[in-house]
């Protein structure tokens, strides 16, 4: 939302006013709250505090989908999602975007991988070369 134009902000304001006190508004609010504690937290402790504040907000009572989101945020995986705050050498983004892009390129027949096994084998070789520096 930081990069949105004035027109886009007006549109979202109109949508929010139209869907006030509905699940649509709740989805947008929850998304922003989750996004904020990943982007604005300066330490892992602050991220945990923001998460705990969000968990105490009774979001889990609204829908089963929100309950699943809250359950996931309260799981042991949260420490991995916020690891970049305690270790500056860990980037905020993962390599998954690069792997997905590479996988999509390999799906094209022009690259010569016509079977799933061929694509998987090539992906394994790519990961060894790219992330493990050819060390197994």
Q: Do 54 and 47 form a contact (C-beta atoms < 8 A)?
A: no
Least confident of 29-43, 95-109, 111-125: 95-109
Q: What pLDDT is attached to residue 58?
A: 84
pTM of the model: 0.57
- Residues 6+ positions from 53 with CB-CB distance below 8 Å: none
Q: Is the pLDDT of residue 110 over 60?
A: no
What are the pLDDT digits (tens) for 35-84? 888 888 888 889 899 989 988 888 888 888 989 989 998 888 888 888 77
Q: What percent of the chain has pLDDT over 70?
A: 78
Domain ranges of the chain: 6-86, 96-131
Report the alpha-carbon angle 92-95-77, nearest 5. 60
């Amino acid at each position: 939302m930081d990069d949105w134009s004035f027109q886009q902000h007006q549109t979202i304001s109109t949508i929010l006013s139209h869907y006030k006190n509905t699940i649509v508004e709740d989805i947008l609010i929850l998304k922003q709250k989750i996004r904020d504690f990943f982007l604005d937290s300066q330490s892992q402790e602050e991220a945990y505090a923001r998460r705990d504040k969000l968990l105490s907000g009774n979001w889990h009572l609204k829908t089963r989908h929100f309950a699943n989101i809250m359950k996931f945020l309260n799981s042991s995986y949260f420490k991995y999602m916020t690891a970049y705050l305690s270790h500056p050498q860990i980037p905020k983004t993962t390599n998954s975007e690069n792997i997905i892009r590479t996988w999509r390129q390999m799906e094209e027949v022009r690259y010569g991988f016509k079977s799933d096994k061929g694509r998987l084998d090539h992906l394994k070789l790519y990961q060894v070369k790219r992330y493990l520096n050819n060390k197994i």
